[in-house]
Amino acid sequence: MASIVLENITKKFGKVTALDGVNLQIDDGEFIVLLGPSGSGKTTLMYLIAGIYRPTSGRILFDGRDVTNLPPKERNVGLVFQNWALYPHMKVFDNIAFPLTLKKADKNTIQQRVHEVANMLRIEALLDRYPWQLSGGQQQRVAIARALVKQPQILLFDEPLSNLDALLRIGVRTELKRLQKDLKITSVYVTHDQAEALAIADRIAVINNGKLIQVGTPNEIYYNPRHTFVAGFVGNPPANLLNAEFDGTRLTIETKTFQAPAELLQRISGRRRIVLGFRPEKGSLLDHITENAVGIEVQVYEVESMGREQIVTVSIEQTMVKVLRPSEEKFQVGQRLFLCVDIKDLMLFDFDTNEALDVR
């Protein structure tokens, strides 16, 4: 176990800035998920923690000790990466034992540790098989066992489940979270899957274009996004973000105008444009405007069933908005309704900086 501090980390590859002034503190035993789109710098950050890359500037500390210039083998970090190829000519036992064989550990230690981790990951019965005789989920567990056998103080996972089908992912991620909590090994887990991030993280660090945008618990990230990028990336579907003009009393979206609620006036005063956001499950579609809500006339554009719920896409002229409603409610394409959102459920962002207007 170890705490990790990333201090003002910048990593450049020639003209490409992969990471730009990243500051992050990870506590002992914490499970941090790095969430961001393709090319945002996630793998680069993992390689820096592992010691495979050196930062262009900035420092990395493990338990307060500067490790910035330590090579990988002196960092005691376990890796489970995107392409977690096992050695095809080696049996599962030897695959798991490999890091210890490299270190020239004695036979008894190897026997004991391999059985220990295999038992933990419930693959003891598979030790005598070759990788091609395993299912994807089993292979994945072997890869995790191989990372654990060194007893690392830090575990790094880079999209470890991306080769598994959707159902298996959900199963393995639960086991992974459980295992991490039992072993209390500080872990950094990379994904671009926001649902996976919400499900397993102690805290999520959202990254875009090499910059950390927000770090917070899944609840904070979901309910209190500090930036439109976070609101528009997290959630299925993600939050709706609407550009609105403000004339001092009224808000206008496209050509639809409504009175700005008194509660909002103070927060948006002095601005001519803002971004209004809300989660799809916070919108209702009614034939009237409810109390303590803002309401705007919309037309139903498309309805998609998701089983228990349905995604109703409605249009405010050219602007499309997604609302999540229980399947019992019936909607027809072309139907005109009022989209209502409780004032307390509105998120407000600065039009120019895209940052949230205030802490709620």
Ligand X SMILES: Nc1ncnc2c1ncn2[C@@H]1O[C@H](COP(=O)(O)OP(=O)(O)OP(=O)(O)O)[C@@H](O)[C@H]1O
Nearer to ligand X, 42 or 325 (CB): 42
Nearer to Mg ion, 138 or 208 (CB): 208
Nearer to ligand X, 18 or 274 (CB): 18
Residue (of 203, 178, 180, 348) closest to 276 by Cα position? 348
How many residues touch ligand X under the rule CB under 6 A: the total is: 12
Binding residues among 191-250 for ligand X as defined by CB under 6 A:
192
How many residues touch Mg ion under the rule CB under 5 A: the total is: 1
Nearer to ligand X, 91 or 192 (CB): 192
Stretches 22-30, 31-39, 85-93, 101-109: which one binds ligand X (CB under 6 A)? Answer: 31-39
56: contact with ligand X by CB under 6 A:
no
Which residues share a beta bridge with 338? 286, 297
Nearer to Mg ion, 47 or 98 (CB): 47
Least Å from the CB of residue 213 to ligand X: 13
- Write the interaction track for ligand X spanning residues 156-195; mark x where CB under 6 A is met and - where it is not: ------------------------------------x---
38: contact with ligand X by CB under 6 A:
yes
Stretches 39-47, 243-251, 310-318, 347-355: which one binds ligand X (CB under 6 A)? Answer: 39-47
Nearer to ligand X, 56 or 292 (CB): 56
125: contact with ligand X by CB under 6 A:
no
CA distance 199 to 190: 13
13: contact with ligand X by CB under 6 A:
yes
Task: Report the 10 Å Cβ neighbour count for 349.
Answer: 23
| 195 close to 174: Cβ distance less than 8 angstroms | no
55: contact with ligand X by CB under 6 A:
no
Least Å from the CB of residue 143 to Mg ion: 16
Residue 108 exposed, middle or buried by CB count within 10 Å (0-12, 13-18, 19+): exposed
Least Å from the CB of residue 34 to Mg ion: 10
Nearer to ligand X, 12 or 273 (CB): 12
Least Å from the CB of residue 241 to Mg ion: 26
Binding residues among 40-59 for Mg ion as defined by CB under 5 A:
43
Stretches 10-18, 64-72, 92-100, 147-155: which one binds ligand X (CB under 6 A)? Answer: 10-18
Q: Which does 75 bind (CB under 5 to 8 A by kind): ligand X, Mg ion, none?
A: none
Give the one residue of 4, 26, 35, 44 binding ligand X; rule: CB under 6 A.
44
Give the one residue of 2, 22, 31, 41 binding ligand X; rule: CB under 6 A.
41
Q: Which does 232 bind (CB under 5 to 8 A by kind): Mg ion, ligand X, none?
A: none
H, E, C per residue of the chain: CCCEEEEEEEEEECCEEEEEEEEEEECCCCEEEEECCCCCCHHHHHHHHHCCCCCCEEEEEECCEECCCCCHHHCCEEEECCCCCCCCCCCHHHHHHHHHHHCCCCHHHHHHHHHHHHHHCCCHHHCCCCHHHCCHHHHHHHHHHHHHCCCCCEEEEECCCCCCCHHHHHHHHHHHHHHHHHHCCEEEEEECCHHHHHHHCCEEEEEECCEEEEEECHHHHHHCCCEHHHHHHCECCECEEEEEEECCCEEEECCEEEECCHHHHHHHCCCCEEEEEECHHHEEEECCCCCCEEEEEEEEEEEEECCCEEEEEEEECCEEEEEEEECCCCCCCCCEEEEEEEHHHCEEEECCCCEECCCC
Q: By the criterion CB under 5 A, which residues form the site for Mg ion? A: 43
Provide the binding-site residues for ligand X, judged by CB under 6 A.
13, 16, 18, 36, 38-44, 192
